[in-house]
Amino acid sequence: MLSLTLFPVIAGCGVAAFTFGALSLRVTDSDDLLAMPAEALILGLAFALAASPGGWAIVARAILIVPSFFLYLSVFLGKPSPLPFYAAFAMAGLYSLFLTALSSYFSEKSRESGSGDASLRPDA
């Protein structure tokens, strides 16, 4: 049970660290409502909830896509050499879809390993 909970938490910490690194590249938007570590922690927490094996994780995945899109859009547009808007829009969409798909994969993989694999049972 602990390993089912620990893996999404570690993955969420990794996403938070990756996001904090990306946020530190921004030169604009330094006067946000939230500090950069808080933004990174919120996205990491959302990823950890979306990657958890519970059936309710689909709600977290549905919510994860919107803030991650806007956060990475601000990163790509706020860099010292910003991307053109259409490229930043496309890249932010790809990043948010990738994070959502990865959390879905982690959630399903944890759910399968938690219930046990039928091929590993002695009677199978």
Per-residue pLDDT of the chain (124 residues; tens, 9 = 90+): 667 778 889 999 999 999 999 988 887 656 677 888 899 999 999 999 999 888 888 898 898 999 999 999 989 998 888 899 999 999 999 999 999 999 999 888 766 665 544 444 444 4
Task: Give the Cβ contact number of residue 90 at 10 Å.
Answer: 13
CA pair distance 81, 26, nearest whole angstrom: 10
Within a domain: residue 27?
yes
Domain count, the chain: 1
* Residue 122 within a domain: no
Two tokens at 14? 């990794």
Structural domain of 15: 2-114
**Which pLDDT score, from 0 to 100, does residue 70 have?**
92
Q: Would you say residue 25 lies in a domain?
A: yes
Domain-embedded: residue 124: no
Tell me, yes or no, whether 121 lies in a domain.
no
Amino acid residing at 45: L
> Which pLDDT value is given to residue 36?
87
123 within domain boundaries:
no
Could you tell me if residue 96 is inside a domain? yes
**30 in any annotated domain:** yes
Where does residue 116 fall: left (phi above 0), alpha (psi -120 to 50 degrees), or beta otherwise?
Answer: left
Give the model's pLDDT for residue 85.
94
- DSSP conformation class of 82: P
